[in-house]
Amino acid sequence: MLSKSETDYSSADLTAFFELMKPRVMRLVIFTTVVGMVASQEFIHPVIAIASVIFIGLGAGAAGALNMWWDSDIDFMMARTDKRPIPSGKVKPEDALYFGLFLSVLSVMMLGLIANFLAAFILGFTIWFYIFIYSIWLKRRTPQNIVIGGAAGAFPPVIGWVATSGNIGLESILMFLLIFIWTPPHFWALSLFSHSDYHRANVPMLNVTYGKPHTRLQILLYTLALTIISVGISFSSLGGIFYFISALILNGYLIYLAVRVYFQNEQLSIGLNMKYEKKLFLFSISYLFVLFGMILLEALMDRFQIASVNFQLIDIFFR
Amino acid sequence: MKNNDLEISKRRSSTNIVLGLILAFFVMLIFSVTVVKLSNGDKMQAYDHVLRPEMLTDE
């Protein structure tokens, strides 16, 4: 006969542990890492590249599991997070902690051995930053939580770049900035329609502490800053004509949505069932995917020297 | 009660199979990385105190 704890443990199937790793975040991390690797234009053996991506992805999963362990006390209060493995009782908090710690050590150590120690150091720093700076220190203390904490999500393309090239280039910093400035408007749009969740859990999101009108203004300002960076990348070696055209279209629509969100008031947005806030949140995900997809495309065209369609915008505008 | 035990042991065995596959994949990954690293390695002067003429560069 099995004891109660044993039966509980056996029901914690592997899918629950997979969910602990925040698979959707991991997908974005893996994608931006691959873009960072290809954009560096350094050739490494495919086996080394695949192994590096796997361990960078596992590092992101480790950070996700540790974050879920730390936030398990507030996750059950929010509709958005109460189905997560710990609040739903599928995984014990201490199991999530050990799982996260094990994966952190494994991923950093293996990336160091497979790629290089600078990449491993940045991966370790990213996990540390996400847990200690974002989750433990900032998230429950300041409305700037997302702004500073967003750096953790911005590191993967830098890690990918460093894993292949061994150094931190200007272009990897541009990719970092793109995600870093993208994060606040993306999460603030989410917080506008999950307002009561954050309020109940006592998380000082900007809309909880400074109100929704101020949040709408900040979304617009960050969107404009994001436009400068993302269009600006067109003129670096990451960009090209396809990236440039995509950036113009995507930023045009993003600004349109941010302006619509800015001019909403409480009654109007509730009447529309938060239509524009939800649109902005969902569109911002596609926005980042497409822009990084274009960086990937431009890098591949450079690598395979598709000269007829590949030319640098900098040559057209500034030479 | 017996059905419950059977259910638990079924779940455990499927979990163990998946874990086994993950471990096997991990072993294969490390093995492939080792093979690539060794075959891509630069010529090295090993610590066996034997001179390798092919590694001498022209002055």
Torsion region of A277: left, alpha or beta (phi above 0 gives left; psi -120 to 50 gives alpha): alpha
Measured CA angle at B20 (ends B14, A111), to 5 deg: 130
Domain count of the fold of chain B: 1
Rg (C-alpha) for chain B, rounded Å, is 25
Residue A219 has pLDDT above 50, yes or no: yes
A307 and B CB contact within 8 Å: no
Residue among A1, A10, A47 whose CB faces B11 most closely: A10
Please report, rounded to a whole number, the percentage of residues in chain A having pLDDT higher than 70.
92
Distance from CA of B4 to the nearest CA of A (A): 10
Residue A3 has pLDDT above 80, yes or no: no
Q: How far apart are the first and last CA of chain B?
A: 83
Interatomic CA distance for residues A151 and A158, integer angstroms: 11
Residue A317 is predicted with a pLDDT of 60
* Boundaries of domain holding B38: 2-55
Give the list of residues 6+ apart from residue A158 with CB closer than 8 angstroms, or none.
Answer: A36, A122, A168, A172, A173, A175, A176
Residue A167 has pLDDT above 80, yes or no: yes
Residues of B with CB under 8 A from a CB of A: 1, 4-5, 8, 11-12, 15, 18-19, 29, 32-33, 35-37, 40
What number of C-beta contacts closer than 8 Å exist between A and B? Answer: 31
Torsion region of A166: left, alpha or beta (phi above 0 gives left; psi -120 to 50 gives alpha): left
| pLDDT tier for residue A4 given thresholds of 50, 70 and 90 | very low
pLDDT averaged over chain A? 88
* Residue B2: C-alpha distances to residues A24, B7, B9 (Å): 39, 9, 11
Residue A298 is predicted with a pLDDT of 92
Give the list of residues 6+ apart from residue A86 with CB closer than 8 angstroms, or none.
Answer: A20, A68, A69, A72, A75, A92, A93, A96
Q: At what angle do helices A46-70 and A117-128 cross, to 10 degrees?
A: 20
Interatomic CA distance for residues A46 and A53, integer angstroms: 10
Residue keyed to tokens 């280039």: A169
Q: Shortest CA distance to A153 belongs to which of A27, A18, A318, A294?
A: A27
Residue B45 has pLDDT above 60, yes or no: no
Interatomic CA distance for residues A172 and A153, integer angstroms: 14
On whether the CB atoms of residues A58 and A111 are closer than 8 A, the answer is: no
| pLDDT tier for residue A228 given thresholds of 50, 70 and 90 | very high
Distance from CA of B23 to the nearest CA of A (A): 13
Residue keyed to tokens 């959707």: A24
Pick the residue from chain B with its C-alpha nearest to A113.
B33
User: Quick one: average pLDDT of A111-139?
Assistant: 94
Residue A207 has pLDDT above 90, yes or no: no
For residues A101 and A149, which has the higher predicted lDDT (pLDDT)? Answer: A101
Q: Which two three-digit tokens encode residue A47? A: 């086996």
The per-residue pLDDT for range A85-96, each reduced to its tens digit, is 999 999 999 999
| pLDDT tier for residue A318 given thresholds of 50, 70 and 90 | low
User: Quick one: average pLDDT of A10-36?
Assistant: 88
Kindly state the greatest CA–CA separation across chain A.
79
Interatomic CA distance for residues A121 and A108, integer angstroms: 7
Residue B25 has pLDDT above 80, yes or no: yes
Residue A12 is predicted with a pLDDT of 57
Helices (H), chain A: 4-11, 14-20, 23-39, 46-70, 72-75, 93-114, 117-128, 145-154, 156-165, 170-193, 195-200, 206-209, 212-232, 241-262, 266-271, 275-303, 313-318
Rg (C-alpha) for chain A, rounded Å, is 21
Residue among A7, A14, A51 whose CB faces B29 most closely: A51
Give the list of residues 6+ apart from residue A71 with CB closer than 8 angstroms, or none.
Answer: A81, A135, A139
Backbone phi, then psi, for A122, in 5-degree steps? Answer: -65, -35
A43 and B CB contact within 8 Å: no
Kindly state the greatest CA–CA separation across chain B.
83
Q: How many CB atoms lie within 10 A of CB A178?
A: 23
| pLDDT tier for residue A266 given thresholds of 50, 70 and 90 | confident
Residue among B1, B8, B33 whose CB faces A47 most closely: B33
Interatomic CA distance for residues A178 and A18, integer angstroms: 28
Interatomic CA distance for residues A252 and A132, integer angstroms: 36
